[in-house]
Every structure is written in structure tokens, then in C-alpha cells.
Amino acid sequence: MTRFLKTFTAAAVLALVGIGAQASDFPAKDKPITIVVPFAAGGPTDRVARDLAEAMRKPLGGVTVLVDNAAGAGGSIGANKVAKAAPDGYTLLVHHIGMATMPTLVRNIPFKVETDFEYLGGINDVPMTIIAKPTLPANNMKELVAWVAANKGKINLGNAGVGSASHLCGLLFQEALKTDMTPVPYKGTAPAMTDLIGGQIDLMCDQTTNTTSQIEAKKVKAFAVTSPKRLSTAALKDIPTMQESGFKDFQVSIWHGLYAPKGTPADVAKKLNDALKVALKDPDFIKKQEGLGAVVVTDKRMDSADHKKFVAAEIAKWSPIIKAAGVYAD
């Protein structure tokens, strides 16, 4: 028995030394890091992830950083893929506000958002815009509110699918106006935007990453932005905030964060967080995000613990709104 214990102890020590060596050597030059995006290629979260992948390559020693799109079920399929991945730092997740809404939106979610991930930090905030078909008669938020009141029961509100940013913002917009609208879910933002421009649906609330070019081209009408202050982007700088428009408590942004599987070694997680912080200060990354209407995180949410606290607060905010709507992704 004594010999067995000595052998077991020696093996355990060697195993721990091996794990430490692997962590200290992270990332290996010949092993790519994969960022999983739980939405389709070409969408706003995909664009953020691809910009981030490029910005993190240099601080990670030039290692290849790939993007893998695993869409479906309100973003839970891709998130589950990362939750179940090897906790070695080579499989990461970029997710948006869905990290806070999945616990309620997907009732049979196969993982726990709060405990099955290492929170690496926040990335950016993407404001939303309240937009309408070009033929809608209202020209400002006051007129839009009056139009909504006069057309109760007749209004179609488009979104990019259950659990999408536009779906969540739409729920909040209906709550703010105390008016139910007929939801029209699409398989992505592109077909929803096409129908809004064509007048098949009346309204939509979507990210500036999707709406800025359409607003600039005057293909849709814009009524308000959901940021706490007006945006500096040329196409959006004259659009009032929801607070200016009389909705004091209406503020929503579609934030993005970076995550790793639970159990990722602490020093590997630190290297990833350090690389993230460098990427968030990269002038080229900042410029690309500003071009999308996004604001790069500069506050304490860059730190792992503070981003986790932020997500917990967002879960508490969105859970009652989703439950009141009674629309789920499963």
C-alpha cells in the first residue's frame, strides 16, 4: 500500500507539472484558437468576433485565431459547444446579450451560464435604433407614439428571430409603449430589413451595426437611439435618444463578451484576458467598431470578475421581461 501511495503521489505530481507546463506554453504556435459565434456568418456578432480575432492575434504571439459559426436555439447551440469543449484556452465564445437572456429564453438549456464558463471580459456595446418602413407617416418619436396609439392591433414588429437583439429590443419597446404588436420573426436581420424597406412590416428595433447604412441611405425612417447620449457617427448624430424622446428608463445596448469553458487554467485565462485588453485598445479595432456604430469597452468590464457581475445584473433585468412576453426559443 505504501508503495502504491508513493507511486500515485509521484504520478499526480507529474500530471500537475505537465498541466502547468502546457498552461505556461499557451498558446502553441501550431495550434489555432477557435472563437465560436452562436449566430450565422455575416451578422453583427460574427463581424465583431472576426475583428476581435484579428486584433488578438498579435498579443497572442501571432497564433492563428479562427471563427466557427454554430447558430441556433437563441444562441444556445454555440454556447453549449464551448461549455462542453476542453478547458485549454483553444475554444472560446463570443456572445452578445444572449448570455443574459438564455437562462430564461431557453427553458431546457443544457448548461448554466453562471457557472459553466470562465468570464474573460466585455468587448463592446452596440446601441439600438428604433426604425420604421419609409412610408410610415410619422416623422419623429412624438408622432410615432401617436401613430402607434391610433393603430393598435394593426402593427407588425419585425425581428431577426427569437432571442435575437431585435427581438429583445422589440419586447422592451412594446413594454415602454404599453402596446402589444404582432411579432414577425425572420431567419436573420437581412430578410427582416428587406421587408421593412419594402413596407411589408412596420417597425423594427435593431443594432446600429445593421441599421446605420440603411438610415444613411434613407431607406428606412429612424426615430431614436437607445444609448444614454447621442451617437457621434455622422449618419446617426442627429437622431435623439429615447430619454430625449420622453422614455426616461429606456436604455439598451447589445453588448458582447468573451468566454472560455469552465476549468480553463487561471494563467491561460489571464493570458487571454491580457490579449483581450490589448485588442480593445488597438486603434484599428476601435476604428472598425466605431464604423459599426459600436462603442468599445473601456471601463472595469474589461476585467473578468466585473464582466461576470455585469452579466448577472443583465440576467436579473431581462428575465421578467421575457417571462411576461411568454415567447421562448425552445
Q: How confident is the model at residue 297 (pLDDT cuts 50, 70, 90)?
A: very high
> In the block, which residue shows the cell 470562465?
118
Contact 35, 56 (CB under 8 A): no
Considering only residues 324 and 48, tell me which one the structure prediction assigns the higher pLDDT: 48
Tell me: pLDDT of 73 over 90. Answer: no
CA distance 30 to 57: 13
Half-sphere exposure (Cβ direction) of 205: Cα atoms closer than 13 Å: 28
CA distance 330 to 326: 12
Paired sense of beta strands 117-125 and 256-261, if any: antiparallel
3-class state of residue 110 by DSSP? coil
Residues composing the chain: 330
CA distance 278 to 4: 48
Burial label, 49 (beta-carbon count in 10 A; 0-12, 13-18, 19+): buried
Taking residue 189's Cβ as centre, other Cβ atoms within 10 Å add up to 27
Can you tell me the mean pLDDT for 83-107?
A: 94
**177-214 pLDDT tens trace:** 999 999 999 988 889 999 999 999 999 999 898 898 99
Q: How confident is the model at residue 24 (pLDDT cuts 50, 70, 90)?
A: low
Least confident window among 7-21, 162-176, 221-235: 7-21
**Could you tell me the CA-to-CA distances from 283 to 51, 167, 279, 288 in Å, in that order?**
12, 32, 9, 9
Considering only residues 330 and 211, tell me which one the structure prediction assigns the higher pLDDT: 211
- 258 CB-near residues (< 8 Å, 6+ apart): 35, 52, 92, 93, 94, 120, 121, 122, 123, 272, 276
Return the C-alpha torsion angle 273, 275, 278, 283, nearest 10: -120
Can you tell me the mean pLDDT for 17-36?
A: 76
How much is the mean pLDDT over the chain? 90
263 backbone φψ class: left, alpha, beta (φ>0; ψ -120 to 50) = left
